[in-house]
């Protein structure tokens, strides 16, 4: 009996510690779910879209609190896919975007963004290949598109080298500083985590951190890649 009472006391203490907004009772869905749905439907057109028809059809898009993990082996295109989504979000919302690269320097990321934005083969940015395209100089065409972008009213698309940002808290700080609409973290498994004994511990700690502090904490949809 003493053990049972002790367990009940522990359970009640735990219940008291749980943040009430995170714990809901389906019995009261009329007062909890329905206001959420009403707000969601009213803002359905303003939800952030992936720009990938299948994902948008299946999910409806990104919402505050969402943490999307993209997982795959090295060299399978995770960075390209993440950049494509982030660029689409930036162009669609016309709000600042943050991209944190834990695997590459800033210039390789900028090259890939430029390739997507100008719809130019990646080899051009690697080797300067392709003198002409449809009778026009590729170099001149690409540069003109980038000059037009610089002169446009588009907001910042911030690219951060992982050497500058090494923890979840630093990512959160940058997201708040630039007031971004969404965050992409390429190679999130490389973020530092205090007291992590293995890389798997670090990945788990940082995944929870991105969810709790960024996506859920300040409501900024976040996409992260892992391998």
CA separation, residue 170 to residues 17, 31, 160, 174, 223 (Å): 27, 37, 11, 6, 16
Question: pLDDT (tens digit, 0 to 9) for every residue of the chain, 227 residues total?
Answer: 555 566 556 655 545 554 445 577 888 888 888 887 787 677 665 578 888 788 777 777 888 888 999 999 988 899 999 999 999 999 999 999 999 999 888 899 999 999 999 998 888 887 776 555 554 678 888 889 999 999 999 999 999 987 766 899 999 999 999 999 999 999 999 998 888 888 888 889 999 999 999 998 898 999 999 98
Q: What's the pLDDT score for residue 18?
A: 45
Give residue 36's pLDDT: 75
pTM reported for the whole predicted model: 0.77
Q: What b/e readout covers 55-86, taking b as 16+ CB neighbours within 10 angstroms?
A: ebeeeebbeeebbbebeeeeeeebbebbbbbb
Give the pLDDT score at 216: 86
Look at strands 222-226 and 132-133 and give their pairing. unpaired
């Amino acid at each position: 009996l003493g053990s049972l009472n002790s367990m009940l006391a522990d359970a009640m203490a735990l219940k008291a510690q749980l943040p009430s907004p995170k714990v809901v009772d389906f019995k009261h869905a009329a007062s909890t779910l329905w206001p959420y749905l009403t707000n969601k439907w009213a803002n359905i057109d303003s939800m952030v879209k992936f720009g990938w028809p299948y994902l948008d059809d299946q999910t409806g898009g990104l919402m505050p609190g969402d943490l999307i993990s993209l997982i795959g082996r090295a060299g399978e295109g995770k960075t390209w896919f993440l950049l494509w989504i982030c660029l689409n979000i930036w162009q669609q919302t016309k709000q600042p975007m943050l991209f944190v690269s834990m695997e590459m320097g800033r210039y390789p990321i900028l090259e890939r963004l430029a390739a997507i934005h100008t719809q130019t083969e990646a080899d051009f940015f690697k080797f300067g290949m392709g003198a002409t395209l449809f009778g026009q100089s590729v170099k001149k065409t690409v540069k003109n598109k980038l000059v037009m972008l610089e002169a446009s009213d588009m907001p910042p698309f911030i690219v951060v080298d992982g050497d500058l940002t090494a923890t979840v808290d630093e990512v959160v700080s940058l997201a708040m500083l630039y007031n971004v609409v969404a965050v992409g973290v390429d190679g999130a498994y490389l973020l530092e985590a205090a007291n992590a004994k293995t890389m798997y511990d670090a990945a788990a700690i940082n995944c929870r951190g991105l969810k709790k502090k960024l996506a859920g904490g300040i409501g900024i949809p976040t996409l992260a890649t892992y391998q």
